[in-house]
A and B are shown apart, each in its own frame.
Chain A
Amino acid sequence: MSVPILTLITFIPIIGVFFILSIDSKRQELIRVTALLVSIVVFFISLPLFFNFDSHVYDMQFVEKLRWIPSFGIYYYLGIDGISLFLILLTTFITPLSILASWHITKNVKEYMIAMLVLETGMVGVFVSLDLFLFYVFWELMLIPMYLLIGIWGGPRRIYAAVKFFIYTMAGSVFMLLAIIALYFLNYKSTGEYTFNLLEYYRLDISFAAQFWLFLAFFLAFAIKVPMVPFHTWLPDAHVEAPTAGSVILAGVLLKMGTYGFVRFCLPLFPEASHAFIPVISWMAIVGIIYGALVSMAQDDLKKLVAYSSVSHLGFVMLGIFAFNIQGIEGGITQMINHGLSTGALFLIVGMLYERRHTRMIADFGGLTKQIPVFATFFMIVTLSSIGLPGLNGFVGEFLILVGAFKSRILYASLATTGIILAAVYMLWMFQRVMFGEITHEENKTLKDINKREFVILAPIVLLVFWIGIYPNSFLRKMDASVNHLLKQVGDKANIVSNIQIHNKPEQLQGIGVPKIDIVPENKTEW
């Protein structure tokens, strides 16, 4: 434990902010380059996390622990495991691309780049914090730059969208804060020690009634963030109004905080409550998958279409997580990454079209393939990745999720699988209307194909799309230990309490039998 990598990647962006502060705001190019360099440096520093990650242990790795406010038991406590590893990498990977995609921003470049870098700190901070107080600080910190990005650099209804985003998320977070404080005192009651240490909380034995309410509080915060239907309406507004980079980060990383929150907090802290909520959440997820896809189909604005498709994709993630088995959760995590990549790329592509034509209406396009073939190729690959074509990344996540869901309840998986058909419908229909056919609008006849900067943005994403699709094991292996441990935690605890608390509903505990987590009941299938 020599180099504090986690601290570095969390706070180098802030150092970058100071650099940028010292630059004259008229030197826009220098500001952009500085921001980009800082984010690239952060990305490279984060790479050792991947290569030096020990995939055999479930313990937190790269741990850093310092006293921060000792009188309240608050620590500066960072660490990652196989669950957060990829979300951090996703963040450090997406940020430079987003900055590169913001090259055309000319209004208040200095402030814009500062917001981007602060945002990166907030996002990484959320994923590395193991102290709930610290976590909450980052969680809220992240809101501010995003609020500004939408509110200042956004589209015509930016103020409405920014306020909606901010208040909606805040409303959820407040309940989470309450729950965190409650945990703080619960922990004191049972151990006599004041601490915000998450790993300590994992050991708590919380009564089912308490779990129920605490779960609900966390659930509200995360469900809004994911977002799960019906808490999703802030998302299309935020996406449509946000600048491209804002949308990319919003879809790529911010939404993942919700799903990550479920895996990191809800499941291990409140296993029985989580268990009891399986039907509720699974149904919400399924409704989200189908509803998101159907509503997506009706959209005439590209960004809105992609935004609603996010609702559908995140439904898959939630379904996987609440399948409570290894395939479901690993699929869920993989799908978080996949969604970050493909939906991020879709927003980038829509942004590129917008830069050229200043419109996002599907009807304003048509026949573009003829004019911009290279762009079309990228667009096609990303579209296919988004609809889960085998061989590309989306398939691996979706299929594992469905296998997981199938194991826990066949009905859920069967319903969710219809989402795969619908995804093909709305994505291909969109692609056809935008890219195929004759060019019907004069303005589209002079479009320029992808430039070098755009190529540099999209190429790495496409590479990853293929990598995850063809060799997902390089990712899955690193999750194994942590996910197995998580399931064991959940299984162990759920079993202890199950005898007392929810003995009248034994069937809910199927599939999480204690020592062996991955049990398939022989020849017995719950339809």
Chain B
Amino acid sequence: MLNLVGLILLFPIIGTAINGLFGKRLKKETVGYVACGSIGLSFFISVLVFCGLLLLPPDARLFEKQLFSWIESGSFKAAAGLQVDPLSSLMILVVTGVGFLIHIYSVGYMHNDKGYHRYFCYLNLFTFSMLLLVLSNNFLLMFIGWEAVGLCSYLLIGFWFEKKSASDAAKKAFIVNRVGDFGFALGIMLIFLTFHSIDFTEVFNAASHGNFGVGSFTVTVITLLLFMGATGKSAQIPLYTWLPDAMEGPTPVSALIHAATMVTAGVYMIARCNVLYTMSPFTMTVVASIGAVTALFAASIGLVQNDIKRVLAYSTISQLGYMFLACGVGAFTAGIFHLMTHAFFKALLFLGSGSVIHALSGEQDMRKMGGLKHHIPITYKTFLIGTVAIAGLPPFAGFFSKDEILLESLVRGNFIYWLIAAIAAFFTAFYMFRLLFMTFHGESRVDHHVAEHIHESPRNMTIPLMILAGLSFVGGFLGIPGASAINNFLAPVFGGHPHTEISGTESIGHHSEGHPYLMMVISTAIAVAGISLAYRMYVKKPEMPGRLAERFHLIYKLLLNKYYVDEIYDVLFVKPTKIISIQLWKRVDALMIDGSVNGIARLVGWFGNIFRHLQTGYIRNYAFYIVAGCIFIIVLTVFGK
């Protein structure tokens, strides 16, 4: 069954080709069937491959399939090869599974769009690229997937390209990601230079058995460079600014690419390279710190945003921060576990918000919502489940995964990590329930003519919501402390490396017997506190937020304007680059370089002009020159010596 892995990639790319080349001439239904069908088949094969992997004994769960040799130059060899192991098999299930649901949802959501086939062509291409990213068995092929998902993100953010804000956001996403990829590419080169290979298995073997000690300078540089790529793709400080803007894309895209899958690529990559990362405590500290700070930073911005999708976007950044925090303290399993549950509930929340936006004819401002729970009950109920899941109430999915991260950050990290993460968890519960209350509860603030058209979404949109709600409910049981299925499953990937300072993954048991349950109580209390504050502020006393905003208007303004980071980047990077480029062109290129080229030409002309006067055409002048010359020579020969 494992041999079928190539098909997982094949179906989406066939879908892309069909819809890309012939989509315009096909009927809408056909386009939809092709797109969903290809991902559905891909999901089916993924399940088969997953089962195939389960049938193997745990320590033999690694299957590689070389497709062809891609780039070969001297000792540099990059193959097009695929790899199935617990980590990648989990990822393909998430990507194709959630992807399939979002494809179905899109059929309903994008129904009236003129670019219907173009949309599905891109979406299929995205799924292909994402699968390539997680299935590749070497760094360079992974890099293809890495950049290709970036391309699809670019195309889909800018899907409504007539809108300037959309095409701006698309460009921003691509360029910011390129900055990260700059690091990633250099990292790959340094890996090649250090290990003479870019193959995962070879590199990791060489790293753990070679003469690289923990804290090796080269490995630290490599991991930092790779992490730079991750901060771009997974929207972490300092490269997170593109993700909120990416909400310009269609909402299902935000769900699939900018919440469930693509943005988690950085976490996946670090988990994949866990051997290298654990060898560099310094990098681990950097990863954990950036993750923790991002989690808090983004959550604080999320507290005051009014655009429903932007709140979710900042929430995504914040949740990704948690995953990095987990990886940074060495709890890779916790990171991947949260990646998975987050994929469920965040996809659900985005699709739910899409359903709201759909119902309100495109309105995204929460100040113009309210009281929707009776109008769109299915959306409301599923959204509620998602909100509870992300806020971290037991027994929903987010509770288990986030709780594990909190616990690990304390056990393996330190109190400060835990504190930051706990505050961020409080914020999360608050802003998510603020969102829920503002949107679904209270008085309706919907415009009148919009209010007339409020309707529940069609079945092809609500069914994916229900399935995702189900997953958000049960997903957490995979990682119940003590009997964690996901822990055991991923252990071969993350466990037992020679250099692992903080070795193994099943730490909970022996590190601290009593802690897990105490921690659960604490984190539940944190969530409840956040929720009740949101309840007080947005249901009980709706006038309170305004008063608070006035009283702390400086902080409020700072948060509302996202700490002015975009503006700062603009002053620091964008404007200077533009000025430099214009100055280089006008002053250096046109004036100096071309000026001197033309100057030389003019100089030649000038000399020519001078000597031209010698050519008078009069014989008497020439005779004079001859005589003068003769005299000069005679004088020279006679008196010269």
**B-contacting residues of A (Cβ < 8 Å)?**
164, 167-168, 229-230, 232-234, 291, 294-299, 325-327, 330-331, 367, 369-370, 384, 389-391, 395-396, 399-400, 402-403, 406-407, 410, 413-414, 417-418, 420-421, 424-425, 428-429, 432, 435-438, 470-473, 476-477, 480, 517-518, 520, 523, 525
Chain B residues within an 8 Å CB radius of A407: 193
Q: Is the CB of B186 within 8 A of A297?
A: no
A427 to B143, CA, bound (A): 21
A477 to B178, CA, bound (A): 30
**A384-B151, A520-B193 are known contacts. Are A437 and B76 too (CB-CB below 8 A)?**
no
Q: Is the CB of A230 within 8 A of B185?
A: no
Q: Is the CB of A429 within 8 A of B140?
A: no
Q: Is the CB of B578 within 8 A of A406?
A: no
CB distance from A432 to the nearest CB of B (A): 5
Chain A residues within an 8 Å CB radius of B170: 432
**A294-B584, A414-B186, A471-B70 are known contacts. Are A400 and B162 too (CB-CB below 8 A)?**
no
A417 to B164, CA, bound (A): 29
A232 to B140, CA, bound (A): 34
Q: Is the CB of A391 within 8 A of B194?
A: no
**A325-B74, A384-B151, A472-B70 are known contacts. Are A399 and B185 too (CB-CB below 8 A)?**
yes
> Considering only CB atoms, which chain A residue lies closest to B77 in the complex?
A473
A261 to B175, CA, bound (A): 35
Sample of 17 A–B contacts (CB below 8 Å):
A167-B601, A233-B594, A291-B588, A298-B585, A326-B73, A326-B74, A370-B161, A389-B151, A390-B147, A391-B144, A406-B186, A428-B175, A432-B171, A438-B162, A438-B164, A473-B70, A518-B74
Known: A294-B584, A402-B189, A432-B167. 18 other contacts (CB 8 A): A291-B584, A296-B581, A325-B74, A390-B146, A390-B148, A395-B144, A403-B192, A410-B190, A424-B178, A425-B577, A432-B171, A436-B167, A472-B71, A476-B71, A476-B73, A480-B73, A517-B74, A523-B218
**A-contacting residues of B (Cβ < 8 Å)?**
68-76, 140, 143-144, 146-148, 151, 154, 158, 161-164, 167-168, 170-171, 174-175, 178-179, 181-182, 185-186, 189-190, 192-194, 196, 211, 218, 577-578, 580-582, 584-586, 588-589, 593-594, 597, 601
Q: Is the CB of A425 within 8 A of B147?
A: no
Q: Is the CB of A525 within 8 A of B193?
A: yes
A384 to B155, CA, bound (A): 12
CB distance from B513 to the nearest CB of A (A): 44
Q: Is the CB of B185 within 8 A of A420?
A: yes
Q: Is the CB of B174 within 8 A of A421?
A: no
CB distance from B73 to the nearest CB of A (A): 5
A376 to B331, CA, bound (A): 46
Chain A residues within an 8 Å CB radius of B72: 473, 476-477
> Considering only CB atoms, which chain B residue lies closest to A163 in the complex?
B601
Q: Considering residues B162, B163, B196, which has the most beta carbons from chain A within 10 angstroms of its beta carbon? A: B162
A403 to B182, CA, bound (A): 13
A168 to B597, CA, bound (A): 9
**A390-B144, A472-B71 are known contacts. Are A403 and B189 too (CB-CB below 8 A)?**
yes
Chain A at the B interface: SS class: helix
Chain B residues within an 8 Å CB radius of A403: 73, 76, 189, 192
**How many residue pairs between the two chains, A and B, have CB atoms under 8 Å in the bound complex?**
152
Top 8 closest A-B pairs, CB basis?
Answer: A326-B74, A436-B167, A390-B144, A436-B161, A233-B594, A298-B581, A298-B585, A297-B581
> Considering only CB atoms, which chain B residue lies closest to A406 in the complex?
B189
CB distance from B592 to the nearest CB of A (A): 8
CB distance from B192 to the nearest CB of A (A): 6
A362 to B299, CA, bound (A): 41
**A298-B584, A367-B162, A523-B194 are known contacts. Are A399 and B74 too (CB-CB below 8 A)?**
no
Chain A residues within an 8 Å CB radius of B70: 470-473
**A298-B581, A472-B70, A525-B218 are known contacts. Are A417 and B593 too (CB-CB below 8 A)?**
no
Q: Is the CB of B76 within 8 A of A327?
A: yes
A168 to B593, CA, bound (A): 13
Q: Is the CB of B582 within 8 A of A298?
A: yes
CB distance from A363 to the nearest CB of B (A): 14
Indicate which residue in B143, B144, B161 contacts A369 across the interface (CB closer than 8 Å): B161
> Considering only CB atoms, which chain A residue lies closest to B144 in the complex?
A390
CB distance from B501 to the nearest CB of A (A): 22
Q: Is the CB of A437 within 8 A of B164?
A: yes
Indicate which residue in B69, B162, B577 contacts A436 across the interface (CB closer than 8 Å): B162
Chain A residues within an 8 Å CB radius of B71: 396, 399-400, 472-473, 476
**A399-B140, A473-B70 are known contacts. Are A429 and B171 too (CB-CB below 8 A)?**
yes
Chain A residues within an 8 Å CB radius of B144: 390-391, 395
**A420-B185, A421-B179, A437-B161 are known contacts. Are A299 and B585 too (CB-CB below 8 A)?**
yes
> Considering only CB atoms, which chain B residue lies closest to A414 in the complex?
B186
**A327-B76, A390-B147, A400-B73 are known contacts. Are A420 and B162 too (CB-CB below 8 A)?**
no
Indicate which residue in B73, B186, B194 contacts A417 across the interface (CB closer than 8 Å): B186
A436 to B164, CA, bound (A): 8
Q: Is the CB of B74 within 8 A of A421?
A: no
Chain B residues within an 8 Å CB radius of A432: 158, 167-168, 170-171
A518 to B211, CA, bound (A): 22
> Considering only CB atoms, which chain A residue lies closest to B192 in the complex?
A403
A406 to B194, CA, bound (A): 11
CB distance from A200 to the nearest CB of B (A): 29
A370 to B582, CA, bound (A): 30
**A417-B182, A421-B175 are known contacts. Are A295 and B193 too (CB-CB below 8 A)?**
no
CB distance from B126 to the nearest CB of A (A): 13
Q: Is the CB of B147 within 8 A of A406?
A: no
Chain A residues within an 8 Å CB radius of B167: 432, 436-437
A177 to B515, CA, bound (A): 83
Chain B residues within an 8 Å CB radius of A413: 186, 189
Q: Is the CB of B162 within 8 A of A370?
A: yes
Q: Is the CB of A294 within 8 A of B577?
A: yes
A12 to B70, CA, bound (A): 36
CB distance from A220 to the nearest CB of B (A): 14
**A299-B585, A399-B185, A420-B185 are known contacts. Are A428 and B74 too (CB-CB below 8 A)?**
no
CB distance from A230 to the nearest CB of B (A): 5
Indicate which residue in B148, B174, B179 contacts A391 across the interface (CB closer than 8 Å): B148
Q: Is the CB of A420 within 8 A of B76?
A: no
CB distance from B430 to the nearest CB of A (A): 37
Chain B residues within an 8 Å CB radius of A384: 151
Chain A residues within an 8 Å CB radius of B74: 325-327, 330, 517-518
Q: Considering residues B68, B147, B179, B211, which has the most beta carbons from chain A within 10 angstroms of its beta carbon? A: B147
